[in-house]
Chain A
Amino acid sequence: MMPAFVWLILVLVLAAPLVYLGGHVGRLRQLVANATSVEWETDPPNHLSQWLALGALAVAWIPFTLAARASDAAFALGTLALRFDGIALLLSALALGLGTLVAIFSGAYLRGEKQTEKFFALLLVMVGVMIGLGAARDLFNLWVWFEALAVASYMLVAFQRDERASLEAGVKYLVQSAAGSVMILLGIALVLAQAGTLDLEELGARLVTADSNLLFAALALFVIGFGVKAALVPLHTWLPDAHAHAPSGISAMLSGVVIEAGLIAMLRVMLPLIPHLQGQGNRVAVLFLVFGAINLLAGNLLALRQTEVKRLLAFSSVAQVGYIVFGLGITFWSGQGVGAQGAFFHLLNHGLMKGLAFLAAGALLFALRAGLPRHAPLTISDLAGAARRYPVIAFAFSIALLGLGGLPPLAGFMSKWQIFVAGVDAGNIWIDVLVVFAALNSVLSLAYYAPLVNAMYRGNVSPLVARGTPVPRAMVVPLVVLAVGVVVVGVAPNVLDWLTQPASAALLHSLGY
């Protein structure tokens, strides 16, 4: 009897080829029906693959609910070892939730693009392997899941493949990410040479006699390798291109879940090593705290200069990753779960808020693209007065932006607050200084979120907005769902405890506290 979470992965991964074939069947039927009358310039509208993908995602919620109730299921088949613990639950909830909304959103958004069945098939693969990644129990398995996720991401980033910027972003992402993968493999080789096993749960016992300098080298390789994927600052240069030039639904997935998946993978591989560093454990905490602070500052300063909406949101992701890394660093320092719980809480909130922000930006891009050249980026001044014509989208977008900036009744404030409280409780003067620094950065970030809101609500209606087309309801519904989510989490942060508490418990368990 396979545990429910294995079905969850299987449903999504096995449905992907069906979705792809379904798209072909639909296109063939339409081609036959129209063969005599119309010559298609682009592909005919193709809904079958979207409906199949939505069906698969809907079915996947059944094993997800079952898996969420059963705690700590494990599964092993040959060398494939999986364990669905709190961290895996957190990642799969975020991936599946956001993935479903993106699938609803993207059908209308991709109108006019070629071969949308590839998009939906790859989206399913992306969600499926991400759940596998969260549940991987073996270091090498984890790497393979990660490569599968990365390959799906490369293709989705370069989806608009007649577009120079998308292809450039895809190439850049692929080269940097593949180089990062090699670093991870070298780290795995070092661990294997020391321990003779790659099972993350056995590693702890086997590493007792290991050379702590070699372990620290392996750890450094993991930080660099996964740092590329999680966009830690000197390694973030692929992110703004990839996130800005992917289709908006994929930008939402990349920013909302994929970079967080990189962070979770980094945590997973580092946790068994940290207790064996013989007094150097605090160095890891310092590394995380400093990386967090650098990410915050660099992300915010770079975002300040941006004029393109999606590029600005991409840089703000760099800054938001800083808060998550910072929260984890606090837990490594103090051994208290509060920091990690805040970090996981912020990870979820960032997924909601950044997903909402990218989808809202995508909806506006869709509405205004009649007046723009094909695949042209949306700038802040284009949005002037958008709230008059698109009140719901502008309102949802504003909620996302103000939430990211950390305004009190919204989700982002709650998680940042939890991280800051944990930082002050750690009782170290330098961490206190960093908390103040992070709080000031939150204010700094409003300097680029607020002008966006301001432009939408107070600017004169720009000619682009005046010529804008109406937005289909299928694109507005996911925005409303996410906006309600951001507000509810902000007002009642306890609603997500069922995800964040098991995750931080799992983290502390792996650390051996």
Chain B
Amino acid sequence: MNLSPLDTAIFLVLGLFGVGFYALLIVRHLIKLVIALQILVKAAVVALAAAGAASGKLELGASLALSVIVVDTVVAVVALALALQVRKHFGTLDVSELGTLRG
């Protein structure tokens, strides 16, 4: 089976997105939750780079992918800071122990 680079990228995006989203749904540990979000965002990074290549704007796609990595790092830092506060005040990193989830 011969895959073009674009096909490979699409499979990679779908795979990363699937893994990340599944992890987001089942994981209860705050740090693992941050990792799940990171995997999810990596799907978007690959998608942007591939979209740039597909439309003939390689540099644009690459620069967008890099910007996403930067912004995403900020989000991860804030998420970890929240995790730190949770740990400090309540001695647990388990989301389900944090409180009852109300609709």
Q: Which of B50-70 contact A (CB under 8 A)?
A: 50-52, 54-57, 60-61, 63-64, 67-68
Residues 194-224 of A, flagged 1 when their CB comes within 8 A of B and 0 if not, give 1111100000000000000000000000000
Known: A151-B74, A158-B82, A185-B44. A192 touches B57 (CB 8 A): yes
CA distance A365 to B95 in the complex (A): 28
Q: Is A474 an interface residue (CB 8 A)?
A: no
Is A48 positioned at the interface, with any CB of B under 8 Å from its CB?
A: no
Instruction: Given contacts A147-B71, A167-B98, A198-B60, list 5 more A-B pairs with CB under 8 A.
Output: A171-B86, A171-B98, A182-B41, A186-B44, A240-B103
Quick check: is A189 within 8 A (CB to CB) of the other chain? yes
**Measured CA separation A164–B82 after assembly (Å):** 11
The residues of A with any CB-CB pair to B shorter than 8 Å are 79, 140, 144, 147, 150-151, 154-155, 158, 161-162, 164-165, 167-168, 170-172, 174-175, 178-179, 181-182, 185-186, 188-190, 192-198, 237, 240-241, 302
Which residue in chain A gives the minimum CB-CB distance to B24? A179
Q: What residues of chain B have their CB less than 8 Å away from a CB belonging to chain A?
A: 13, 17, 20-21, 24, 30, 33, 37, 40-41, 43-44, 47-48, 50-52, 54-57, 60-61, 63-64, 67-68, 71, 74-75, 78-79, 82-83, 85-86, 89-90, 95, 98-99, 101-103
Given contacts A167-B98, A192-B55, contact A182 B43 (CB under 8 A): yes
Among A170, A178, A185, the residue within 8 A (CB) of B48 is A185
**Cα distance, A482 to B41, chains bound together (Å):** 41
Evaluate whether A179 and B85 lie within 8 angstroms (CB atoms) in the complex, with A167-B98, A192-B60 already known: no
Judge whether B71 and A196 touch: CB under 8 Å.
Answer: no
With both chains docked as a complex, state the minimum distance between the C-beta of B76 and any C-beta of chain A, in angstroms.
9
The answer on a CB contact under 8 Å between A144 and B51 is no
| B82-A196 in contact (CB<8A) | no
Instruction: Identify the interface centre among B47, B50, B56: most chain A CB within 10 Å of its CB.
Output: B47
Please state if A174 and B79 are interface contacts (CB–CB under 8 Å): yes
Give A192 to B46 CA distance when docked, in angstroms: 13
9 contacting pairs across A/B (C-beta < 8 A): A161-B89, A162-B89, A167-B98, A168-B99, A172-B101, A182-B43, A189-B51, A198-B64, A241-B102
- Residue of A with least CB distance to B46: A189
Contact A175–B98 (Cβ < 8 Å) = no
Contact of B82 (CB < 8 Å), options: A140, A174, A188, A237: A174
CB distance from B43 to the nearest CB of A (A): 7
Asked if residues B17 and A186 are in contact (CB atoms below 8 Å), the reply is: yes
Whether the Cβ atoms of A194 and B55 lie closer than 8 Å is yes
Q: B38 — nearest CB in chain A belongs to which residue?
A: A178
When the two chains form their complex, are residues A179 and B21 in contact, meaning their CB atoms are under 8 A apart?
A: yes
Report the bound CA distance from A144 to B68 in whole Å. Answer: 8
* B101 surroundings in chain A (CB, below 8 A): 172
Of all chain A residues, the one with the shortest Cβ separation from B76 is A178
B residues in contact with A197, CB < 8 Å = 57
A164 near B75 with CB under 8 A, answer no
Pick the contact of A182: B44, B64, B83, B86 (CB < 8 A): B44
Q: Which residues of A are found within 8 Å of B55, using beta-carbon distances? A: 192-196
Shortest CB-to-CB span from A410 to chain B, Å, is 30
Nearest chain B CB to A330 CB, angstrom units: 29
Residues of chain B with a CB closer than 8 A to A194's CB: 55
On chain B, the residues within 8 Å of A162 by CB distance are: 89
On chain A, the residues within 8 Å of B40 by CB distance are 178-179, 182
Task: List the B residue with the shortest CB-CB distance to A172.
Answer: B101
Whole-angstrom CA separation of A79 from B62 in the bound complex: 14
> Which residues of B have CB within 8 Å of A147?
71, 74-75
Distance of A155 Cα from B85 Cα, bound (Å) = 12
CB of B68 within 8 A of CB of A185, answer yes
With A168-B98, A171-B30, A179-B37 known to touch, is A192 a contact of B48 (CB < 8 Å)?
yes
Q: Which listed residue (B17, B63, B75) contacts A174, Cβ 8 A?
A: B75
Assembly CA distance A190 to B54 (angstroms): 10
| Contact yes or no, A167 B85, CB < 8 A | yes
Q: How far is the CA of A348 from the CA of B54 in the complex (A)?
A: 41
Top 7 A-B pairs ranked by shortest CB distance? A185-B44, A189-B47, A196-B55, A193-B51, A189-B51, A192-B51, A168-B99
Distance between Cα atoms of A285 and B65 in the complex (Å): 32
B35 → chain A, closest Cβ, in Å?
Answer: 12
Report yes or no: B78 in contact with A189, Cβ–Cβ below 8 A: no
B67 — which chain A residues lie within 8 A by C-beta?
A: 140, 144
Question: Is there an interface contact between B78 and A154, defined as CB atoms closer than 8 Å?
Answer: yes
Of A174, A181, A237, A240, which is within 8 A of B78 by CB? A174
Q: Which residues of A contact B68 (CB under 8 A)?
A: 185
Complex Cα gap A361–B67 (Å): 40
A198 nearest CB across to chain B (Å): 8
List the A side residues contacting B75 at CB < 8 Å. 147, 150-151, 174, 178, 181
**Contact, CB under 8 Å: A167 / B37:** no
The smallest beta-carbon distance between A306 and chain B, in angstroms, is: 10
Q: Could you tell me the distance between the alpha carbons of A190 and B17 in the complex, rounded to whole angstroms?
A: 15
Task: Look across to chain A and name the residue whose beta carbon is closest to the beta carbon of B16.
Answer: A182
B48, A188: Cβ atoms closer than 8 Å: yes
B86 — which chain A residues lie within 8 A by C-beta? 167, 171
Q: How far is the CB of B45 from chain A (nearest CB, A)?
A: 8
Residues of A close to B37: CB separation below 8 A: 175, 178-179
Cβ B82 vs Cβ A171 within 8 A: yes
Please tell me if the beta carbons of B17 and A158 are within 8 angstroms of each other in the complex.
Answer: no
- Closest B-chain residue to A154, C-beta based? B78
Q: Within the assembled complex, what's the spacing in Å between the Cα atoms of A150 and B85?
A: 19
Q: A185-B48, A193-B54 are in contact. Are A237 and B103 (CB under 8 A)?
A: yes
CB distance from A30 to the nearest CB of B (A): 25
CB of B23 to closest CB in A, whole Å:
11
Chain B residue contacts of A168, Cβ below 8 A:
95, 98-99
